[in-house]
Structure 1
Amino acid sequence: MLQLKNIKKTYNGKAVLNGIDLDIDTGEIVSILGPSGSGKTTLLNVILGLTDLDEGQIIFNGEDLSRTPMKQRGFNIVFQDYALFPNLNAYENIIYGLKNKPGVSTKREVRELIALLGLGNHLGKTVDQLSGGQKQRVALARTLVMKPRVLLLDEPLSALDGVIKESIKERIKTIASDYNLTTIIVTHDPEEALTLSDRVLILNEGGISQYSTPREIIHNPHNGFVRQFILNQLEIKRNNIFSLFEGAYA
């Protein structure tokens, strides 16, 4: 279990994160959702260890990681821009991290992961030859071969649409299930969060407005902000998302 206890972070005298308490179960997919400036990216970076917290604790399986450097936490992130190496082909990108830690994944495990992500026919392609969805899958594979204890995804679907987007969503779900991998996703898209996650954390001005299952958020928003944020953001997509939670706002 990943536990956040009273996480606080201030920039230039302004509280960006103000007392975040959170429990995330092993193998759970949790999306962090909220308007611009709500603290989503800061919270992700604090969990990763990229940003130091001012107060509070980050505890993973009973171990206090609050002051542990990022490289020693064993948490890995797939950035929004994928951060692939343009001078390497897809396969070379996937196994890049294994050069320094060759025993982390066996060749068989790498092959199985490549098959799971449907990348077998794209391994020799350069980054420029890959589609957006293929780049996303290569970035996922590169991270997963390192067997992270927690997988962090920063806007993983923002550059995708249609069938490709739905395909990546299903692969993320499969990976979390098959590997029992705790997965934390930052997204600006309520539809993404509500259809992909086991639980959704809604932030507003650095605090938690609601942390619940998607169905609970739709049927029982905790306050006016959550209700308005979800309704306003989903106005264009309401037929798509509301069909999953019949009768919520009939």
Structure 2
Amino acid sequence: MLKLQNVSKQFDKKVVLSDINLDIKTGEIVSLLGPSGSGKTTLLNLILGLTQMDQGQIIFNDVDITKTPMKNRGFNIVFQDYALFPNLNSYENIVYGLRNKKGLVSDQELQEYIDFLELKPHLNKKIGELSGGQKQRVALARTLVTKPKILLLDEPLSALDGVIKESIKERIKSIAREFKLTTIIVTHDPEEALTLSDKILIINEGKISQFGTPSEIINEPNNRFVEEFILKQLQIKRHNIYNLFGEKYA
């Protein structure tokens, strides 16, 4: 569905991404994982079209969209801070992106999104009255109603914790499955990537260290960086990893 070929990017002569090649299938959840400054957010912005690459190609459904403007790509993003309008209530935020797209979704479809994310009791609340998890669900609904071809999420769980984080994680999985929606997530947290994703792209210093399933990355790390980054970060989050991969890595 989405193919990146030899993608590279520099800022002020500093190489941020170098020769990135990636294939993502329809409906997959793929996490872009790496330490701060590794280039994962830049890669997300290149896919979105917010930033232009220096070289390489982006192919979507066999069409070269490298030079296609962001507004014409049909992708959409939920930002880390949700970017909701505090002066509008939840419902007004959800339908905001439809104001110039009459007929994009029917009233029935809109209601289905609201019901799917269990937002009906919160539609008349202002954003300041919502919890972090409720804000995240409103941001997801606002994005879903525009029927994106790819859903991009920038650190979607970083402001959440505990039960709320696990709930949103399950929502994201359900969205991808229910709508067959290819989903790309930026995260710095290996536990989030391992428990949320079908595939994980680990980036270090602008280059791909490994691309594979959670099981492949845990059991067959490509290099020392992958092994140390993953296992060191996971030592304080053992229970989820035990549930996924057993005693060896818990």
**Distance (whole Å) between structure 1 residues aligned to residue 56 and residue 110 of structure 2:** 37
SS in structure 2 of the partner of residue 84 of structure 1: coil
Question: Conserved in 1, the CA contact under 8 Å of 2:241 and 2:249?
Answer: no
Following superposition, the deviation at residue 243 of structure 1 comes to 3.0
Secondary structure at the residue paired with 2:121? coil
Match of 1:126 in 2: 126
Cα distance in 2 between the residues matched to 1:84 and 1:249? 39
Work out the CA distance in 2 between the residues paired with 1:102 and 1:140. Answer: 20
Q: How far did 1:65 drift?
A: 0.6
The match for 1:107 is 107
Q: How far apart are 1:249 and its partner, in Å?
A: 4.1
Tell me if structure 2 keeps the 8 A contact 1:219–1:248.
no
Say if 2:2 and 2:23, in contact at 8 Å, map to a contact too: yes
* Kept after mapping to 1: 8 A contact 2:75/2:152: yes
| Pairwise CA RMSD | 0.9
> What stretches of structure 2 of length at least 5 have no aligned partner?
none
Question: CA-to-partner distance for each residue in 1:63-104, whole Å, 9 max, x for gaps?
Answer: 111011100000000000000011110000001111100211
Amino acid at match of 2:121: N
Distance in 2, matches of 1:225 and 1:239, equals: 23
Question: In the TM superposition, what whole-angstrom CA distance separates every residue of 1:132-160 from its partner, at most 9, and x where no partner exists?
Answer: 00000000000000000000000000011
* 1:17-166 superposed matches below 5 A: 17-166=17-166
Letter paired with 1:232: K
Q: In 2, Cα distance between the equivalents of 1:216 and 1:162?
A: 27
What code does the residue aligned with 2:2 have? Answer: L
Question: For residue 170 of structure 2, what is the aligned residue in structure 1?
Answer: 170
Once the two structures are superposed, residues 10-42 of structure 1 have per-residue CA deviations (whole angstroms, 9 ceiling, x without a partner) of: 111111000000000000000000011110100
Read off the aligned partner of 1:79 and give its amino acid letter. F
**Matched pairs, number:** 250
| Aligned pairs (5 A) from 1:172-211 | 172-211=172-211
1:247 deviates by 4.3
Matched, 1:220 2:220: yes
In structure 1, how many angstroms separate the alpha carbons of the residues matched to 2:248 and 2:48?
A: 35
| 2:195–2:240 contact (8 Å) kept in structure 1 | no
Contact 2:202 2:209 in 1 (8 A): yes
Q: Distance in 1 between matches of 2:240 and 2:11?
A: 38
| Structure 2 equivalent of residue 239 of structure 1 | 239
Identity across the alignment (%): 70
Distance in 2 (CA, whole Å) between partners of 1:77 and 1:10 is: 23
Measured in 2, the distance between the counterparts of 1:79 and 1:249 equals: 32
Distance 2:143 2:152 in 1: 10
Q: Distance in 2 between matches of 1:33 and 1:248?
A: 22
Gaps of 5+ in 1: none
Please give the alpha-carbon distance, in whole angstroms, between the structure 1 residues aligned to 2:197 and 2:243: 16
Q: TM-score normalized by structure 2? A: 0.98
Give the 4+ runs in structure 1 shifted more than 3 A: 247-250
Distance in 2, matches of 1:180 and 1:243, equals 26
- Does the CA contact (< 8 Å) of 1:49 and 1:69 recur in 2? yes
> How far off its partner does 1:244 sit?
1.1
